[in-house]
Amino acid sequence: MSTNKGTASATTTTKKAAAPTPAKKTAATPPARKTPAKVPAKTAPAKVPARASAARPTSHEVMLARVESVRMNQRTEGHFDCFGRANQGYCDQGHCAYHAECLSVSGLLHSV
């Protein structure tokens, strides 16, 4: 019998380091642009009313608005703007369209 006394050759496999693969060239894309935040247009600061906007005008405020309205009408018509100025209930403008109302408003305005 014959025995094979052979030396077993030890084969070692060495792995070769893989060479890095070159990156694929792609079409150059521009970087994403940041859009600037929208800046609100400058506006005038809100006017603060003398009283709350939800509150109703007082009767005195309504009366003063009426007085100014009638006086403006008197000026545009070429008359004296004397509405509500009758002292002690006397007014010599008897032909005025506002004569009766003027006397009553004058009494209220001068009593305040």
At residue 97, the 3 state secondary structure works out as coil
pLDDT for position 67: 94
pLDDT for position 95: 87
Q: What is the mean pLDDT of each run of 10 residues along the chain (112 residues)?
A: 53 59 64 67 65 76 93 92 87 88 88 72
pLDDT for position 68: 95
Residues 6+ apart with CB under 8 A from 81: 71, 72, 74, 75
